[in-house]
Amino acid sequence: MNISKSIPITKIKPIGCFFMVLFMCAFTASSSTSHAKQTAVVTENFEDSLRKKAGEFLDGLNAEQQGECLQAMDAKARWYKQYTGGVREGIQIKKLNVEQKKAMESLFKMVLSDYGWKMAETVAKQDGEQGLDKYYVACFGDPRKAGSPFALRLCEHHLTIVNLEIAGGKMTEFGPILLGANPPVLWQKDEEILMKAWTQQTEKNGHKELLGKNSGISSQLMPADQGMLFSALTAETQVTLKEAWEHRLKIFTPTIKARINALHQTRGGWEKSRVAFYKNAADKRSKDGGKWDFKCGLPGMVWDFESSRGHIHLSLCVHPLDVEKK
């Protein structure tokens, strides 16, 4: 039985993406004397800023392009998850002109850090010099309709990096953010930190409970009967895994990182997290023949690393706990 309620997985070509965001409206109030008027200055929050930026991107497309980019909010394709390459819903980036690409990049950099954007371009170029031009941008729902929900997605082979839903003023769903590499020469630091955690935990304590026999398929939730509680790990292993988590979040802007961390805490935080390695000892990098997987899970939430199939998949995703509506 999974840590969360069961979540439908379409095929198991691991997987594509969606994500919901929590927003807060900030304001300042100033007053002069006890009889003076109090004025409030409302600043544009992240939700409003993203909606505005998405609208500007869409307005820069012609009618035919908008027809490709805009998808129904409830389209099944929005929740289809896939690492492998191929056609996706949305408009292919190569169909955009220079100004349209600039607007798209400006939009997605509200979510991705400079490091995150650079890694996206690096992953894309593993498939050829066309890079991100073969990838697809989709908008589910129309952000230009005030108050209506909408979701954004950028994805194709080994990369689903921006998939977020704006609705109801709170973040309840995130990802999965899917990353990968073939050949498995990228994500070296992610790999090495997890290998360090494996060594720290198993050198004196062995790998009983920590190592599962089967593969840990990336983006699938972690069953509640697998692995060990994070709190049962050695103190140095806990520190190292927190370092791995922080490095994973490095692809996002500080605003998004803060929301992900808040969501992680509401799901139980480190105290309720479970940790497992799978298949083989995490004692060598994938490029050197290492074939092992890793998961750290909470109810409806997982972040992971998979290399048991000879190349690399990583994911970070949070499912809503009321998934029956889907």
- Residues, the chain, total? 326
Instruction: Supply angle C-alpha 276, 279, 281, rounded to 5.
Output: 75
Q: What is the pLDDT of residue 178?
A: 72
| Residues 105/120, Cβ–Cβ less than 8 Å | no
Residue 305, CA distances (Å) to 105, 190, 274, 326 in order: 27, 8, 14, 26
pTM for the whole structure: 0.79
Residues near 239 by beta carbon (within 8 Å), at least 6 away in sequence: none
- For residue 273, which of 237, 301, 244, 234 has the smallest C-alpha distance? 301
Query: Which residues does residue 296 pair with via DSSP β-bridges, in sequence order?
Result: 275, 303
Report d(CA 29, CA 57) in Å as an integer: 33
Residues near 288 by beta carbon (within 8 Å), at least 6 away in sequence: none
Give residue for tokens 């805009």.
Answer: 70
Cα–Cα–Cα angle for 239, 242, 243, rounded to 5 degrees: 90
**CB 163, CB 153: distance < 8 Å:** yes
Amino acid 222: pLDDT: 92
Q: Coil, strand, or helix at residue 153?
A: strand
Q: What is the mean pLDDT of each run of 10 residues along the chain (326 residues)?
A: 40 33 25 33 68 94 96 77 72 96 94 91 84 89 87 71 57 65 89 98 92 89 93 97 97 90 93 97 96 96 94 86 48
